[in-house]
Structure 1
């Protein structure tokens, strides 16, 4: 990551999508969602806590209890975060 995240910054969270069915399809595929950084791991700033803004409500990923989210700008795997793309 080029910038260091801090509380209050906006990032993209990649949702997991729904479980994969037997035929390999999903009812809902992973998607980028807006998220607000709520906390940053001082030992590893790529590991953050988020408040994710979904169309149907908010979801929280705190640092405590292993709920943190790790940076992944290259593959955008479900459950990761990255900086918003410039458009």
Structure 2
């Protein structure tokens, strides 16, 4: 199967950063997957995209001009990255 490439309008998952880490290592709100729509794709690096992120409390825009979001799969999913939605059977 060919490798998927992001394109404008595709749905992906964005990993939020969560709230700042407290002194004891905990967070009030840990990183979480959020639904997002690809709004732009970096011509030089198709793994870097601009996103419109859909949060339960509102929208967040993460454009390429602000650095965009980088692609990460599996255990490398850090805050600020995106990945393809998991297949649910």
Report if TM-score (shorter chain) is over 0.5.
Answer: yes
**What CA distance in whole angstroms lies between the structure 1 residues aligned with 2:63 and 2:4?**
21
In structure 2, the residue matched to 1:71 is 71
RMSD between aligned residues: 0.7
TM-score by length of 2: 0.92
Structure 1 runs, 4 residues or longer, greater than 6 Å off? none
Q: Following TM superposition, by how much is the alpha carbon of 1:65 offset from its aligned partner in structure 2, in angstroms?
A: 3.7
Report the counterpart of residue 4 of structure 1 in structure 2. Answer: 5
CA distance in 2, matches of 1:78, 1:61: 12
Give unpaired runs (5+ residues) of structure 2.
none
Unaligned runs of 5+ in 1: none
Q: How many residues are treated as equivalent by the alignment?
A: 85
TM-score (norm: length of structure 1): 0.94
Name 1:56's counterpart in structure 2.
57
